[in-house]
Amino acid sequence: MPIIDRIAQMHDDLTSWRRDIHAHPELGFEERRTSDLVAAKLSEFGCEVHRGIGRTGVVGRLRVGNSPRSVGLRADMDALPIAEANSFEHRSRHDGRMHACGHDGHTTMLLGAARYLAETRNFDGTIHFIFQPAEEGLGGAEAMVREGMLDRFRCDALFGMHNAPGLAVGKFAIRPGPMMAGSAFFDVTILGRGAHGARPEASIDPVIIGSHLATALQTIVSRNVKPVDTAVVSVTRFHAGDAYNVIPERATMGGTVRAFDNETLALLQCNVARIANGVASGFGATAEVDFRVVALPLINNATETAFIADAAGELVGLDNVDRVGGLVMASEDFSYMLNHSPGAYIRIGNGDQAGACQVHHPGYDFNDAILPLGASLFARLAERKLARN
């Protein structure tokens, strides 16, 4: 079964919507223009529209028939604080912000599916179109769940997808069980004693302490995590002082950790705090640690993984769906929703041409060629899950 003809006929509209969103990127919990656009389109299609869920989130509801069955389809809306390096006409119009992860495309694909399903109404039950804010490390999914979204809009199953640069157009990849890592951010403030740069003996130097700490933190994975498990600890920020001839009083450093189960995340948290306090104390300083989980490990339900893989196979052929795709060390806070309702998350090929940018790169752009394919998969999931008897 190829791309849905009606959705293929929308391709120009989908491209126009996607490029408009790309040109007007908004950061997490600031997606007001994007939310307005989404809400207006859903209302135009004939969906019930519910706003302000997780601050700027939007949920569209479409009911047909009398079946109590329900399905949720989710897309993310936020952009990243990156200065875009592209020069095409639809490049970002806002300095320092761009859609460098393809959320403009995800939003557009779900809007395309909503338009098709509202026109054809070939199902029996309720579809919830979930447009999530603040996926990029700010807790948008958790905010929507915490505010009771999945109680108000019950979903028997939840589905999402993400574009995958490096995977050819017309291919999908997924795996049951753990698929994407949980992640946390950490900040460490080292409090020492400042002094003149020419009198280091009068100081408790936070720069030296921070340097030792950055190295010591790397022992967490090599000496605390089981070798058969997978984890990452990366120090990505370090700031101390402003003058050449002054040893500062404090230094701040931060970074991220990744793991595929909550137990390993907890182990990483415990050891970041233990080592930071131990190293600082050994030099006569103190350390303050802020460790915050921003995404749970994403766990695909086995039944729903097979379901979405079968649906994708109907569109592109079973040989073009990798059902045992590799683990992805990047994180995805859709995991908070999957922690409450069974579901699955699939990767859709964004193209494998030489020199193509990965996500979170200033030269990235979503591939408009896959808009009808992603919209068709969203639509088929709803029609299959809510098939009429």
Summarize pLDDT for 196-224 with one digit per residue, the tens: 999 999 999 999 999 999 999 999 999 99
CA dihedral over 10, 11, 14, 20, signed as positive or negative: negative
103-114 tens-digit pLDDT: 999 999 999 999
Model pLDDT, residue 1: 54
Question: Is the pTM of the predicted complex or chain greater than 0.85?
Answer: yes
Residue type, 99: H
Is-contact 330 182, C-beta < 8 A?
A: no
- pLDDT higher than 80, residue 355: no
Mean of all residue pLDDT scores within the chain: 97
**Exposed, middle or buried by CB within 10 Å (0-12, 13-18, 19+), for 245?**
exposed
Where do the domains of the chain lie, and which CATH numbers do they carry?
A: 5-176+298-385 (3.40.630.10), 182-295 (3.30.70.360)
The predicted model gives 122-150 an average pLDDT of 97
Residue 165 tokens read as 């640069």
- What integer is the mean pLDDT of 134-149? 96
Question: What does the pLDDT read at residue 2?
Answer: 79
Alpha-carbon distance 19 to 194, whole Å? 51
Band of the pLDDT at 320, cuts 50, 70, 90? very high
- Report residue 126 as tokens: 């309720």
CA 309 to chain centre: 20
pLDDT band at 354 (very low <50, low <70, confident <90, very high): confident
First-to-last alpha carbon distance for the chain, in angstroms, is 21
Across 41-50, average pLDDT:
98
At residue 267, the pLDDT reads 98
pLDDT, mean of residues 82-111: 98
pLDDT in tens, 56-81: 999 999 999 999 999 999 999 999 99
pLDDT band at 166 (very low <50, low <70, confident <90, very high): very high
Q: Indicate if the pLDDT at residue 268 is higher than 90.
A: yes
Whether the pLDDT of residue 128 is over 60: the answer is yes
pLDDT value at 353 more than 90 = no
Q: Name the 3-class secondary structure at 313.
A: helix
Per-residue confidence (pLDDT) for residue 159, from 0 to 100: 98
Q: What is the CA radius of gyration of the chain?
A: 23
